């Protein structure tokens, strides 16, 4: 995907300054069969130890994704990349294409709090994220995943302050979403700590921005103990543009210990008719990263055919 030179210059200049259904019974209707259709992607964070501890480069992970796991989509994480100049971004796309791996999204961390009380810090955060919109467009991504920071979790106990936080956040996200829309890239928020891990405020933010280019990335595991993860994912799914299958441990039957995947997939796919990618995000310690990825992949494949 080509873009004007001025945009390329902007990306390079800005980033150089700083980074980081098996056969179904014939009695089932075609509609019922389609309910189990979803893609499987690999979240880059599943291999963060390969990168940060073992020195493997992101450019090597596309081959690993295809040849070792037979997965055709890889979700980038900005902090796992080298300084993404225009040349580096081109190399990412070349390597991904070489192994027939799509890049559906980039997860963005460390680029400022889009809900911060200070207007200038929010504006700076928008500018910081805009360069990633350009990169996402160049890589053929449908979205960038951003965070919702800028307020302590205790704000949930103060209705007036929470309302103000949602209001100012909506104004900021709307600017970024409008920018993304012009470049064919959506902005999505993951339940990723703090207020974002509570579904009701996040749904309120979705409604406040009210854009088809703004959505959620429900993660199966990023909820506090006080939040029912199944109910929370159910609430976030109407806005979902991606889904993260967080997993830590598996039993002898290959089921995820901390999350009932059969129940979760029933919510995500059967109830909400989501047919996009479900991203494997293994964060456990009992298995190696590669073993954990295979365990989660096999569980998802089994549920596709359930």
pLDDT digits (tens, 9 = 90+) for 160-217: 999 999 999 999 999 999 999 999 999 999 999 999 999 999 999 999 999 999 999 9
* SS3 (DSSP) at 21: coil
Q: Give the pLDDT confidence of 18-49 residue by residue, as tens digits.
A: 443 333 333 334 444 454 899 999 999 999 99
d(CA 86, CA 107): 18
Whole-model pTM: value is 0.89
Q: Give the pLDDT confidence of 41-87 residue by residue, as tens digits.
A: 999 999 999 999 999 999 999 999 999 999 999 999 999 999 999 99
143-146/186-190 β-pairing? parallel
pLDDT of 103: 99
d(CA 228, CA 9): 46
Which residues does residue 145 pair with via DSSP β-bridges, in sequence order? 107, 188
d(CA 186, CA 137): 10
Q: Give me the domain span that covers residue 57.
A: 5-304
pLDDT of 36: 82
At 158, give phi and psi (nearest 5°). Answer: -120, 100
Band the pLDDT of 306: cuts 50, 70, 90.
confident
* SS3 (DSSP) at 218: coil
Mean pLDDT, range 122-139, rounded to an integer:
98
d(CA 89, CA 91): 5
User: Which tokens sit at 22?
Assistant: 């098996």
Work out the percent of the chain whose per-residue pLDDT is above 90. 87
Does residue 194 come out as left (phi exceeding 0), alpha (psi in the -120 to 50 range) or beta? left
Mean pLDDT, range 227-238, rounded to an integer:
99
CATH code of residue 25: 3.20.20.150
Residue 4 confidence (pLDDT) above 50: no
Q: Give the pLDDT confidence of 263-286 residue by residue, as tens digits.
A: 999 999 999 999 999 999 999 999
pLDDT of 283: 97
Which residues does residue 107 pair with via DSSP β-bridges, in sequence order? 77, 145
Please tell me the total count of domains within the chain.
1
Band the pLDDT of 3: cuts 50, 70, 90.
very low
């Amino acid at each position: 995907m080509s873009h004007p030179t001025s945009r390329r210059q902007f990306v390079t200049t800005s980033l150089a300054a700083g980074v980081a259904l098996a056969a179904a019974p014939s009695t089932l209707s075609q509609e019922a069969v389609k309910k189990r259709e979803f893609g499987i992607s690999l979240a880059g964070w599943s291999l963060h130890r390969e990168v940060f501890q073992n020195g493997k480069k992101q450019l090597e992970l596309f081959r690993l994704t295809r040849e070792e796991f037979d997965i055709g989509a890889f979700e980038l994480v900005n902090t796992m990349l080298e300084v993404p100049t225009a040349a580096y971004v081109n190399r990412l796309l070349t390597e991904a294409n070489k192994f027939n791996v799509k890049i559906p999204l980039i997860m963005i961390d460390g680029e400022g709090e889009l809900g911060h009380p200070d207007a200038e810090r929010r504006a700076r955060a928008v500018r910081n994220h805009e360069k990633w919109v350009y990169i996402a467009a160049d890589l053929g991504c449908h979205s960038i995943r951003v965070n919702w920071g800028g307020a302590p979790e205790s704000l949930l106990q103060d209705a007036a302050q929470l309302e103000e936080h949602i209001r100012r956040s909506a104004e900021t996200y709307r600017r970024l979403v409008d920018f993304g829309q012009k470049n064919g890239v959506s902005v999505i928020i993951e339940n990723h700590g703090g207020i974002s891990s509570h579904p009701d405020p996040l749904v309120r933010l979705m409604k406040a921005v009210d854009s088809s280019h703004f959505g959620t990335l429900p993660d199966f595991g990023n909820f506090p103990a006080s939040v029912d993860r199944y109910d929370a994912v159910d609430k976030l799914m109407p806005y979902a543009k991606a889904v993260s299958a967080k997993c830590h441990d598996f039993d002898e039957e290959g089921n995820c210990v901390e999350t009932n995947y059969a129940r979760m997939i029933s919510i995500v796919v059967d109830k909400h008719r989501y047919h996009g990618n479900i991203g494997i995000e293994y964060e456990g310690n009992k298995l190696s990263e590669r073993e954990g990825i295979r365990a989660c992949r096999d569980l998802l494949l089994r549920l596709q055919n359930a």
